[in-house]
Chains A and B, each alone.
Chain A
Amino acid sequence: MKIEMKGINKAFGSNQVLKDAGFVLEDGEVHALMGENGAGKSTLMKILTGVYTRDAGTVIVDGKEVIYKSPQEAEKAGIVFIYQELNVLFDLTVEENLFMGKEITKGFGICDKKAMRKKAQEAMDKMGVKIPINAVMSDLSVGQQQMVEICKALMVDAKVLIMDEPTAALTQSETEGLFKLIKSLRQKGVSIVYISHRMEEIFELCDRITILRDGTYVGTEKIKDINMDDIVRMMIGREIGVRFPARDAKIGKEMLRVEGLTKGKTFKDVNFSVKAGEVLGVSGLMGAGRTEIMHAIFGNLPFESGKIFIEGKEVAIKNAREAINAGIGFITEDRKTEGLLLEKSISENIALANLGKISDKSVVKKSKVDELVKKGIDEFHIKCFGPDHECNNLSGGNQQKVVFAKWVYTDPKILILDEPTRGVDIGAKKEIYSVINNLAAKGVAIILVSSELPEVLGMSDRIMVVHEGKITGIIDAKEADQEKVMTLATGGTL
Chain B
Amino acid sequence: MANKTAAVAAPTNKKSWTSYIGEYGAFIALVFLVVVISVVSPEFRTAGNFLNLLRQATFNGLIAFGMTCVILSDGIDLSVGSTLALSAVICAKLIMQGVPAILAMIIALISGTLLGVVSGLLVTKGRLQPFIATLITMTAYRGFALILTDGKPISNIAKSIGDRPNQFAFKLMGKGNLFGKIPIPAILLIFALVVFFFVLNKTTFGRKVYATGSNAKCAKLVGVNITKTKVIVYAISGFMSALTGLILISRLDSAQPTLGDGYELDAIAAVALGGTSMSGGRGKITGTIAGVLIIAVLNNGMNLLEVSTYYQDVIKAVVILVAVLSDRKR
Q: Does B281 contact A (CB under 8 A)?
A: yes
Find residues 213-258 in chain B having any chain A CB closer than 8 Å to their own CB.
214-215, 217-225
Map CB proximity to A onto B197-222 as digits: 1 under 8 Å, 0 otherwise: 00000111111101100110111111
Q: Does B152 contact A (CB under 8 A)?
A: no
* A344 pairs with B4, CB closer than 8 A: no
What is the interface size of chain A, counting residues whose CB is below 8 A from a CB of the partner? 35
Q: Does B9 contact A (CB under 8 A)?
A: yes
* B215 pairs with A355, CB closer than 8 A: no
* B215 pairs with A337, CB closer than 8 A: yes
* B203 pairs with A55, CB closer than 8 A: no
* B7 pairs with A55, CB closer than 8 A: yes
Q: Which of B8, B11, B210, B218 contacts A340 (CB 8 A)?
A: B218
* A338 pairs with B204, CB closer than 8 A: no
Find residues 18-52 in chain B having any chain A CB closer than 8 Å to their own CB.
none
User: How far apart sit A359 and B281, CA to CA, in the bound complex (Å)?
Assistant: 21
> Shortest distance in angstroms between A132's beta carbon and chain B's nearest beta carbon?
31
User: How far apart sit A362 and B12, CA to CA, in the bound complex (Å)?
Assistant: 39
Residues of A within 8 A of B215 (CB): 337, 340-342
Nearest CB to that of A324 among chain B residues? B223
Map CB proximity to B onto A331-342 as digits: 1 under 8 Å, 0 otherwise: 010000111111
* B207 pairs with A352, CB closer than 8 A: yes
Q: Does A321 contact B (CB under 8 A)?
A: yes
> Shortest distance in angstroms between B202's beta carbon and chain A's nearest beta carbon?
5
Q: Does B175 contact A (CB under 8 A)?
A: no
> Shortest distance in angstroms between B125's beta carbon and chain A's nearest beta carbon?
15
Q: Does A310 contact B (CB under 8 A)?
A: no
Find residues 313-342 in chain A having any chain B CB closer than 8 Å to their own CB.
319-321, 323-325, 330, 332, 337-342
* A344 pairs with B214, CB closer than 8 A: yes
Residues of A within 8 A of B206 (CB): 364
Q: Does B15 contact A (CB under 8 A)?
A: yes
Q: Which of B8, B202, B221, B224 contacts A338 (CB 8 A)?
A: B221
User: How far apart sit A372 and B223, CA to CA, in the bound complex (Å)?
Assistant: 19
Q: Which of A13, A339, A343 contacts B11 (CB 8 A)?
A: A13
Q: Does B316 contact A (CB under 8 A)?
A: no
Q: Does A353 contact B (CB under 8 A)?
A: yes
Nearest CB to that of B16 among chain A residues? A13
Q: Does A108 contact B (CB under 8 A)?
A: no
* A320 pairs with B223, CB closer than 8 A: yes
* B217 pairs with A14, CB closer than 8 A: no
Q: Does B282 contact A (CB under 8 A)?
A: yes
User: How far apart sit A341 and B15, CA to CA, in the bound complex (Å)?
Assistant: 23
Q: Does A494 contact B (CB under 8 A)?
A: no
* B222 pairs with A353, CB closer than 8 A: yes
User: How far apart sit A406 and B281, CA to CA, in the bound complex (Å)?
Assistant: 19
Nearest CB to that of A353 among chain B residues? B222
Q: Which of B8, B202, B211 contacts A14 (CB 8 A)?
A: B8
Residues of B within 8 A of A330 (CB): 221
Residues of A within 8 A of B208 (CB): 352, 355
Q: Which of B8, B210, B214 contacts A11 (CB 8 A)?
A: B8
A residues contacting B by CB (< 8 A) are: 11-14, 16, 55-56, 298, 300, 319-321, 323-325, 330, 332, 337-344, 348, 351-353, 355, 359, 362-364, 406
12 pairs from A and B in contact (CB 8 Å cutoff) = A14-B8, A14-B9, A55-B7, A55-B8, A300-B221, A339-B218, A343-B214, A343-B281, A352-B207, A353-B222, A355-B208, A406-B222
